[in-house]
Amino acid sequence: MTPPRTRPLPPTAPPPPAATATAPPAGPGRTPGRVLALRALGLGDLLAGVPALRALRRGFPGHEIVLAAPAELTPVVRATGAVDRLLPASAPGRAVPAALDWTGPPPDVAVDLHGNGPPSHRLLQRLRPLRLLAFAHPGTPEIDGPPWYAEEHERDRWCRLLTSYGIDADPTDLLLPRPPGPSPAPGAVVLHPGAGAPARCWPVERYAAVATALRGHGARVVVTGGAAESDLVARLAEQAGLPDTDVFAGGLPFDRLSALVAGARAVVSGDTGIAHLAVAHATPTVTLFGPVPPSRWGPPAHPRHIALWHGPEGDPHGRSPDPALLRITPADVLHAVHRLPTATGGGLAP
């Protein structure tokens, strides 16, 4: 069904000073406007964008907030409390979708939370939004947005974009509510050996060495993996001697994965979605970085989060584990896990 026609923002309005990017709230005689945010990326990308999405929710209280993102992220989007509707959109890798299945009048406001260049800008411009909030780029000189800084942290970047348009945004506003269901392995240390690219996958035999050592100290260790990572999970479980009850392969449904992570003693993984999910649930983490430094994708500064990285930077799309990642040893990881705080104030016994 086509959404009701919206009352547009003035198309000839001058660029806003601080706080005029917010449109008038819905009221008597006015149908709600729509704000479309584009972030058609993965789980970690979505969670890094939560502070910006919540800023849009606060900044446009009378509008419907629509997020263009992969359909499989629907339960995660719902958990953020910032989005009214998900518009399914995706493309291979980190590419920009070819088109958006947008119906009805143009968006009152479109927000490019996907990238900084003409492909994502043009995709949104084709919808003829009354306002487009995006970073500046020489290829789209008509967009008078803020500059893009390549070295900026992902959470900070999108909050700065909105702040430059007068929308208050807090990059620390990233926590998700605790899942309603029980954890399938409360108090366990969760190991997740997979990642979106081989360059970010620490060797499975090193994860197995960590698992064996932690179990020797009395910790319960479980392993998780995505739908395409069953072989990886099986190899880790076999090498570490894990029972079937501690193996969660094939990609857990989000509600179970969220409950597992929220109830975990700690999550040990590479730079991938489950690390961001653990941060969102305030679960202690040890995250193994390489080739991308934690200054751009790492957890917030807090004693419960430890990011391991030896550098230098490398190719995040490489076909083999990055040399910087391989510089991290099982001893490094075990030392980090032992340093993590617990409810009683101490880490696992070394």
For tokens 């149908």, the residue is 31
User: pLDDT value at position 348?
Assistant: 58
* 12-26, 64-78, 305-319: segment of lowest average pLDDT: 12-26
Q: DSSP secondary-structure letter at 303? A: T
Asked whether the predicted pLDDT for residue 261 surpasses 60, the reply is yes
Tokens, residue 269: 């993984």
CA–CA distance, 129 with 123 (Å, rounded to integer) = 11
pLDDT, one tens digit per residue, over 128-185 is 999 999 999 999 999 999 999 999 999 999 999 999 999 999 999 999 999 999 999 9
User: pLDDT value at position 343?
Assistant: 53
User: pLDDT value at position 109?
Assistant: 98
* 29-33, 81-85, 293-297: segment of lowest average pLDDT: 29-33
Q: DSSP secondary-structure letter at 216? A: H
Task: Over range 189-206, report the average pLDDT.
Answer: 96
Outline where DSSP puts E strands in 70-151.
85-88, 109-112, 131-133
User: pLDDT value at position 342?
Assistant: 77
CA–CA distance, 318 with 124 (Å, rounded to integer) = 30
Q: Higher-confidence residue: 193 or 344?
A: 193
Q: Are 85 and 106 in contact (CB under 8 A)?
A: no
The helix/strand count (H/E) of the chain reads as: 12, 11
Contacts of 49 (CB under 8 A, 6+ apart): 39, 113, 154, 155, 158
CA–CA distance, 119 with 204 (Å, rounded to integer) = 37
Find the helix or strand (DSSP H, E) in which 222 lies.
strand 221-224
| Alpha helices, H only, the chain | 43-48, 50-59, 74-80, 118-125, 154-164, 204-216, 230-240, 254-262, 273-280, 294-297, 323-326, 330-339
Amino acid symbol at 34: R
Asked whether the predicted pLDDT for residue 11 surpasses 50, the reply is no
Task: Over range 221-248, report the average pLDDT.
Answer: 95
Beta bridge mates, 86:
67
% of the chain residues with pLDDT over 90: 85
CA–CA distance, 123 with 127 (Å, rounded to integer) = 7
